[in-house]
Homo-oligomer: A and B are copies of this chain.
């Protein structure tokens, strides 16, 4: 922690700040600069982080030097983590493809989609039963009925399942039906939900909030690891920017950046990341080229009839073509599908 003083800070003000730091059991090192003084704080930065030192008279700014995340960091665990869910390993050599509809609509449609995505190379079926929707008048999902359909289809077809949980009260229930619980972008900072999932010890796919920095994203993962649940798969799904041609701006930088900062696996959702099905395939190739460990893609047998997000869904033919193209890129970067 670095405390920068104002140019006109008095000796008394400076002393008061230094005394405060010492009272927390930390050491200080004062640098008398040409224009202003700087106080370096030595010791556990966490002790002082909760103190609003900027509120002290004479302080111009306080600069944190260390990252706040610990368990998720590469410093804590230098080797990359592989999250194993049954027979699928996320974060290993294989690029794991997850495909399926935005929302689970009925047994027959989901089964048809599942058979197709499996054939094309997917290992995990995605599909929402509880849908967080901007409008109370939009389709809110089939709920528990959807979970049952999901489980039945996955058992039949031989796929794992990933589906979103939006309420801490549902975690226990979900655990009975699904392999991987997804925390959506809107819930990235629903901390009680994160804690419940942490306690459940179940695999979780944590999506980045649309306005969350990379560091805030990792701090949310830290909540789950802090409950001793290390089965966390991160997911970059685009951030909100001024650009309106695409639904979101997929932050491709975040993929290698997170690989540097954290040991956790990261997958990419090109469907929400672009919002336009015509962009999904090239952006999927890019994601894998950048180092992503998997893809989460919206697929529908009839996107134009989907009850949600059809605009950004691939049909099954385009999905097959996408996997094929991505496979070539995966091999070029030493991975496989």
Which residues of A approach B to under 8 Å, CB–CB? 2, 4, 7, 20, 29, 31-36, 38, 40, 42-44, 46, 49-56, 63, 65-66, 68-69, 75, 132-139, 166-169, 186-187, 189-192, 209-211, 213-216, 219-220, 222-223, 226, 239-246, 249-257, 259-260, 273-274, 276-279, 282-283, 285-291, 303-311, 313, 325, 328-329, 331-333
Knowing A303-B52, A333-B328, the reply to whether A246 touches B257 (Cβ < 8 A) is: yes
List of B residues within 8 angstroms of A167 by Cβ: 168, 192
Contacts of A290 in B (CB 8 A): 282-283, 285-286, 289
Q: Contacts A40-B40, A244-B244, A290-B285 given; indicate if A132 touches B313 (C-beta within 8 A).
A: no
Nearest chain B CB to A336's CB is how many angstroms away? 13
Given contacts A241-B241, A243-B214, A289-B289, contact A219 B134 (CB under 8 A): yes
| B135 & A222 in contact (Cβ 8 Å cutoff) | yes
Q: Is B187 in contact with A46, judged by CB distance below 8 angstroms?
A: no
How many subunits of this chain does the assembly comprise?
4
Is B168 a contact of A55 with CB atoms below 8 Å?
Answer: no
A329 and B333 in contact (CB under 8 A), knowing A53-B304, A283-B253? yes
In the complex, how many angstroms separate the beta carbon of A174 from the nearest chain B beta carbon?
Answer: 14
Q: How far is the CB of A91 from chain B (nearest CB, A)?
A: 16
Known contacts A31-B42, A285-B290; is A55 also within 8 Å of B303 by CB? Answer: yes
Given contacts A7-B75, A42-B31, A68-B137, contact A257 B286 (CB under 8 A): no
Q: A68-B137, A213-B244, A249-B249 are in contact. Are A190 and B191 (CB under 8 A)?
A: no
Given A55-B277, A66-B35, A219-B135, A249 contacting B256 (CB threshold 8 A): no
Contact B242 A213 (CB under 8 A): yes
Nearest-CB residue, chain B, relative to A326: B289
Let me know if B222 and A63 touch, CB within 8 A.
no
- Complex partner residue of A29 from B31, B63, B133, B278, CB under 8 angstroms: B31
What's the Cα separation between A282 and B268 when bound, in Å?
A: 15
A213 CB → nearest B CB, Å: 6
| Closest residue of B by beta carbon distance from A2 | B2
Q: How far is the CA of A208 from the CA of B212 in the complex (A)?
A: 15
B250 touching A279 by the CB < 8 A rule? no
Provide the bound-state CA to CA distance between A260 and B281, in Å: 13
Decide: B244 and A260 in contact? CB cutoff 8 A: no
In the complex, the chain B residue whose C-beta lies closest to that of A288 is B289
Smallest Cβ-Cβ distance to A252: which chain B residue = B252
Inside 8 A of A50's CB, which chain B residues have their CB? 138-139, 307-308
Residue from B244, B255, B325 within 8 A of A282 (CB atoms): B255
Rounded to whole Å, the gap between the CB of A58 and the closest CB of chain B is 10
A278 to B42, CA, bound (A): 29
Shortest Cβ distance from A294 into chain B, in angstroms? 15
Q: Which residue from chain B places its CB closest to the CB of A277 in the assembled complex?
A: B55
Q: How far is the CB of A127 from chain B (nearest CB, A)?
A: 16
Interface core residue of A38, A189, A209, A239 (most chain B CB under 10 Å): A189
- Tell me the complex Cα distance, A56–B277, Å: 11
A26 and chain B: residue at smallest CB distance: B34
Residues of chain B within 8 A of A191, CB atoms compared? 132-133, 136, 166
What B residues does A190 contact at CB under 8 A? 166, 186-187, 190
